[in-house]
Structure 1
Amino acid sequence: MSHAAPDPAASRIDADPAPLLHGGIVAAAQLRALGIGHLFTLTGGHLSPLFDGCARTGIRLVDFRHEQAAAHAADAMARLTRQVQVSAATAGPGVVGAAVAVANAWAAGSPLMLLAGRNPGATEGMGALQEAPQLDMLKPVTRMTATPGDLWRLPELLAEAAATAMVPRPAPVALDLPFDLLMGRMPADALSFAQGRGQSHAPAADPDAVAKTAALLRAARTPLLLAGSGVYWAGVEEALDRFVRETGCPVFANGAARGILPPDHPQMHNAARARALPAADLIIAVGIDFDFRLNYGRAPLIDPDCVIVHVDADPARLGRNRGAVMGVTASPRHFLTALAQAFEADGHRVPAAWPEQLAARDARAARARQDRLDGDGPIDHARFAAEAARFVTPDTVTIGDGGDVIAETAGAIPVGRPGHWMDPGPFGCLGIGLPFAIAARLARPACPVLAVQGDGAFGFNAMEIDSAVRAKTGFVVLIGNDGAWGEMRNFHDDIFGDANLDGQFLSRATRYDRLAEALGGHGERVERAAGIAPALARAARAAEAGVPAVVEVMLDPAARRPAGAVSGKAIAAAFGGGDPDAFKS
């Protein structure tokens, strides 16, 4: 019996399945559907499928010289956009390198998503290259960790992680991506993008809580509102402005809330906080953490009899370290809107003498900063900070990275917009300056970017100047060089004396300006105060051309900034029976 020959073309059409997508494309496509436009990373074989997926879906790879820097940059992008942003680290040492940045984001409350490359699941426990218990290490500093069991679950888990990172207050999340999962394939027509659980929000404020807070404010003589990072993430700019204009209540901001109201706002104060807090009889603390920055809510910074109303989207934060007369679980935006409405009908103004007193203190501090711009002698921290403050504009995104240099500069620089001041946060991680600056340039390309760093902090991720050059991201780096780990040198000296200061010094001969030039950036060293402003102007022109520019200012090595939150003398006295010299030989 004879048979007709088959038609090769027809059989190929009938047999061809839908195009197959590997796991890297599936992951990237889902990230793109979630609004992710950048992936901050450092190359590694475990991540190659993801890189291919990003190229195919239009996600820009921004590559760094260290995984810690890449994850710092994703953290910064998340803070600037108030949305989840993503970093990817290759297996083992890559994830461990990124873990410092994840911990920093955890302490700061930033929705960083870390995608961790991993050995194939088939070789788990066999000693594969770079195999490590990655998620176990990350669990204490993330809200969610997960490993997709198969490719079909990957989009759903990515969406779930993105939603989980945002509520009730932002926090990091991490997903392991085994290599065999990323290399697996699925038909394109079987892929559906997951929308996640959506971003749930904290409830509106209970009307009774709003009414009681309003009553407390009417009775107070020296009230103030403390706005913390939770206020920034809730987007309360309009609600806060409405409340303070109705009542005249003074506002102080810390953390990510700096810039939540413009610096010239009549109710916004800065320089007087250390004197205002002890005198306050009512503090409405919104999205604030009573951590070391506020002396844990205790005396002498805050009077034990001060009435505290603590408002936060996360009930676990209420009353932590400092008990509150009333703890309110609510969206800060909804709470402040309702509180403003409570005063619209019959009105109320804080007694005028109180905000006038605070405004006078702010004016004196501003005059003192201006006075520091005179003369051309040795440069101390105050003069350095004053020059930085004169350089910034309301549009400048300023990043603080260091010890003494930042402690002085943070209070001097006016922050013109929400999200226009960034620092490590309460974890105190050094080295964020350059990665944050790269992310800031990408997130806000129309805004000038200034990273203010100590010489020690700059050294942590100095090679990222190379990354900035390759990414064509121009910004200005202002380094205060005192040839030491200044804050820690003073701390050690205050407790144990100056007989043994091993490990506290760096070399003033190191030329950070020339390092910048060698890596393709612009660099200058300044040794006289009068040279700072012209050097910054030249650096700004280089940054506008897409070149990272370093201005290294040589600080007076004999200058010492008075201790702030961490005082060696106070600690020596506390452990030495009241004697600040008890540990000195």
Structure 2
Amino acid sequence: MPIEGHGGELALAALRAFGVTEMFTLSGGHVFPLYAAAHESGFGLYDVRHEQSAVFAAEAVAKLRRRPGLAVLTAGPGVTNGISGLTSAHFNGSPVLVLGGRAPAFRWGAGSLQELDHVPLVAPVTKYAATVTDCAEIPGQIGAALTAALTPHRGPAFLDLPLDVIFSTSAAADPGVPAVPVLEPDPDEVTRAAVLLRDADRPVIVAGSDVWTGDAIAELRAAAEALRVPVFTNGMGRGALPPGHPLAFARARRVALGQADVVAVVGTPLDFRLGFGDFGAARVVHVVDSAEQRATHVTPAVSPVGDLRVILRGLAATTGDHEEWIAGLRVAEDAARFRDVELMAAESDPIKPARIYGELRKVLAPDAVTIGDGGDFVSYAGRFLEPAQPGTWLDPGPYGCLGTGLGYAMGARVTYPGRQICVLLGDGAAGFSLMDVESLVRQGLPVVLVVGNNGMWGLEKHPMRAMYGFDVAADLQPGIRYDEVVRALGGAGETVAKASEVGPALRRAFDAGVPYLVNVLTDPADAYPRSSVLA
């Protein structure tokens, strides 16, 4: 059945067919028809103070809901301000659609306000980038863009909507929801992978974000249990096996990867987070959802490609026995956890980051969404916090772009109105997006913000001092009252300087019902014990 209306109405009709129910934006005249259509039809509309937050909010929805997220950006600087968000979505495999305003086509080249050809700028970090040239093409172009975004390996898409196109009225064909293609893996490669894991003496599985994105959590558990292989996770794969599961490991990763003879990496790249896939003498199985995700800098023993659910079901058809290996790793895991318990209870002055996470573990609900935005402070979060459920951990991902926190918080709160949303910010990262507390306050979106305030760019200061004997451009003003910034914007908060005060402050924050910032003054001499090579 054909659909009819102005460009904004046509766009929202196509978006609804893909399950999209909200847009994130910063007001701009080039995209008024999209706002009008949202306002008149009850489509969720949330605005921010910087366009990067709009894209990050859309990405949070895409990550958490495993369906497209939408950001609408006005022309010129609106789009260019959102490119870091698009790039993060590119590296994270997040199906984000950005609709950009554009100067009118009929006057192109005459110098209209914010006249810029955005497509060449965003094309390298999107799966689909195009300019819509006719109002009637809007639904079809949105359908094509979202199909590309959802086709593994997933990623962002971009459409430019010239002012004279989006303001026009037209009838258009309803594109419906095209079926996203499913890639069937080579069954022989799956069998080879299963045999390698079965016959190994010391196998390990490392599962990443694509296991969550590909809705393969149950299949991962089944495969690990059938083959009896210990599992480590990263990104949104965290929580795929609950912390109490006998095959779930977190703190013995260095021991495991140092001693393993087969390492199966499922749904995450062999990048700096995994030592670039160099696991010594271990044979590598790299399970990916699309051919372009296969590692090119190492040669895996086997690399099944396709729907992760199908591949993991194939692995689960083979059974194994590695109880002695599992028991040995459990000893290492328990020893590391015992050391962690001591660190998380330390009554140090100044406060160590570990103590903050020890207190957070006591107050976070099992379904809380935890968001990391920072360097050293968030590295500690990765070490000490263990999500109880999959799909509850958001961090910037391998691109490492700071400033995701407030946008992710907005997207998470819109997605889960009744859950705890907790943002962990380094004091450096807080400077990128803290103004968007005003956006949260104004739109009734309460979240808890915890700042690890050590007065520096810790991820840079400590390494530079170790390399050169001095550091530059790495200091921030110590003791900044970020809580007062939040109060000035309509929220609430407090500064904590004693370890014993952290727990009560966190409980007040979660009970507040408004954006609440706990500003914890942490030890500037405390450096995360980083062992990975970043480049």
- TM bracket (short chain): over 0.9
The count of residues paired between Structure 1 and Structure 2 equals 533
Counterpart of 2:14 in structure 1 is 30
2:385 to 409, 413, 435: 413
2:50 to 51, 66, 69: 66
**Corresponding position: 1:368 with 2:348:** no
Shift of 1:107: 1.0
Counterpart of 1:553 in structure 2 is 520
Shift of 1:367: 1.9
Pair 564,452 (structure 1): closer, same or farther in 2 beyond 3 Å: farther
Shift of 1:560: 2.6
Shift of 1:295: 1.5
2:269 to 259, 268, 289: 289
Amino acid at match of 1:283: V
Q: Aligned equivalents of 1:538 and 1:196: distance in 2?
A: 45
Counterpart of 2:312 in structure 1 is 336
Larger Rg belongs to: 1
* 1:169-568 paired onto structure 2 within 5 Å: 169-186=153-170, 190-203=171-184, 205-298=185-278, 302-303=279-280, 305-343=281-319, 348-350=320-322, 352-372=323-343, 373-498=345-470, 501-542=471-512, 545=513, 547-566=514-533
Amino acid at match of 2:337: A
Q: Which 4+ runs in 1 deviate beyond 6 A?
A: none
Q: RCO greater where, 1 or 2, for CA within 8 Å and sep 6 or more? A: 2
Q: 3-state SS of the aligned residue for 2:303? A: strand
Q: Aligned equivalents of 1:197 and 1:19: distance in 2?
A: 17
Shift of 1:376: 4.8
Q: Aligned equivalents of 1:243 and 1:355: distance in 2?
A: 15
Pair 100,214 (structure 1): closer, same or farther in 2 beyond 3 Å: closer
8 A Cα contact 1:37 1:60, kept in partner:
yes
Shift of 1:527: 0.1
Amino acid at match of 2:124: P
Q: Aligned equivalents of 2:13 and 2:188: distance in 1?
A: 46
Q: Aligned equivalents of 1:210 and 1:366: distance in 2?
A: 35
Q: Aligned equivalents of 2:314 and 2:530: distance in 1?
A: 40
Percent identity (aligned): 36
Q: Aligned equivalents of 1:452 and 1:260: distance in 2?
A: 21
Q: Aligned equivalents of 2:472 and 2:283: distance in 1?
A: 46
Shift of 1:20: 6.6
Consecutive unaligned residues in structure 2, runs of 5 or more: none
Q: Aligned equivalents of 2:259 and 2:50: distance in 1?
A: 46
8 A Cα contact 2:133 2:162, kept in partner:
no
Q: Aligned equivalents of 2:235 and 2:136: distance in 1?
A: 40
Shift of 1:558: 2.6
Counterpart of 1:49 in structure 2 is 33
Shift of 1:191: 3.9
Q: Aligned equivalents of 1:536 and 1:196: distance in 2?
A: 44
Shift of 1:62: 0.4
Counterpart of 2:71 in structure 1 is 87
Amino acid at match of 1:218: R
CA RMSD of aligned residues (A): 1.7
What CA deviation, in whole Å up to 9, does each residue of 1:441-479 have, x standing for no partner?
A: 111122211111100101100101000101211111110
Pair 331,33 (structure 1): closer, same or farther in 2 beyond 3 Å: closer
What CA deviation, in whole Å up to 9, does each residue of 1:215-258 have, x standing for no partner?
A: 22232110011112221211111111112222221111112211
Shift of 1:566: 4.8
Amino acid at match of 1:467: S
Q: 3-state SS of the aligned residue for 2:143? A: helix
Q: Aligned equivalents of 1:126 and 1:170: distance in 2?
A: 37
Consecutive unaligned residues in structure 1, runs of 5 or more: 1-17, 572-585
Q: 3-state SS of the aligned residue for 1:271? A: coil
8 A Cα contact 1:160 1:196, kept in partner:
no
Counterpart of 2:107 in structure 1 is 123
Q: TM-score, normalised by structure 2?
A: 0.96
Amino acid at match of 2:214: A
Q: Aligned equivalents of 2:532 and 2:248: distance in 1?
A: 22
Q: Aligned equivalents of 1:312 and 1:516: distance in 2?
A: 42
Pair 28,129 (structure 1): closer, same or farther in 2 beyond 3 Å: same
Q: Aligned equivalents of 1:36 and 1:219: distance in 2?
A: 45
Amino acid at match of 1:200: P
Pair 212,566 (structure 1): closer, same or farther in 2 beyond 3 Å: closer
Q: 3-state SS of the aligned residue for 1:416? A: coil
Pair 19,236 (structure 1): closer, same or farther in 2 beyond 3 Å: closer
